[in-house]
């Protein structure tokens, strides 16, 4: 039996710049990590219990990140503006496989701009971190 090989894979980071529901692509990203969803465990174990017991609590804070090329001589970008203003924006990550797409959407603010190391023929990149301020939705397109 032959392996299934997926083709046409791609991903794009977009942000609602003007808070009008129109998303603008951030541009080239070399990797991205969507925000995780993790519930806090509430320990409800009694002393006489033989094993631990827990109940689901509130959703924990989480962060998302992506790596983008960074041109240090370029003028300030939208991402830099979002960091400076601490503005909460709507973000979406669109993952595409052939004709199928999955959109991960959430709100958050840019909480980190970290330049990555470069050397030799490596490009200068930076990691952009977004701290999530809302729930995460997953929608097939």
- Percent of the chain surpassing pLDDT 90: 56
* Average pLDDT score over residue span 68-86: 82
pLDDT of 45 reads 93
Q: Which domain holds residue 131?
A: 10-33+63-140
* Average pLDDT score over residue span 112-129: 88
pLDDT bucket at 73, cuts 50 / 70 / 90:
low
Q: What is the mean pLDDT of the chain?
A: 87
CATH code, domain with 19: 2.30.110.20
Count of C-beta atoms within a 10 Å radius of residue 105: 19
Backbone angles phi, psi at 79, to 5 degrees: -60, -40
List strand residue ranges (DSSP E) for the chain, in order. Answer: 10-15, 24-25, 31-33, 39-43, 54-59, 63-69, 89-97, 100-115, 125-132, 137-140
Say what the alpha-carbon torsion angle 110, 115, 14, 65 is, to the nearest 10 degrees. Answer: -70
Tell me whether residue 120 is in a domain. Answer: yes
Q: How far apart are CA 95 and CA 110, in angstroms?
A: 21
Domain count, the chain: 1
Is the entire prediction scored with pTM above 0.75? yes
What's the count of helices (H) and strands (E) in the chain, helices before strands?
A: 1, 10
Tell me whether residue 1 is in a domain. Answer: no
């Amino acid at each position: 039996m032959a392996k299934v090989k997926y083709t046409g894979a791609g991903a794009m980071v977009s942000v609602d710049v003007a808070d009008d529901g129109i998303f603008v692509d951030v541009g080239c990203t070399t990797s991205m990590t969507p925000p995780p969803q993790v519930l806090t465990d509430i320990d409800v174990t009694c002393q006489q219990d033989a094993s631990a017991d827990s109940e689901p609590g509130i959703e924990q804070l989480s962060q998302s990140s992506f790596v983008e090329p960074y041109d240090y001589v370029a003028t300030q970008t939208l991402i830099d503006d979002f960091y400076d203003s601490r503005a909460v924006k709507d973000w979406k990550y669109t993952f595409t496989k052939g004709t199928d797409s999955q959109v991960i959407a959430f709100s958050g603010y840019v909480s980190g701009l970290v330049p990555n190391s470069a050397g030799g023929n490596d490009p200068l990149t930076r990691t952009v971190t977004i701290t999530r301020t809302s729930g995460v939705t997953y929608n097939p397109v």
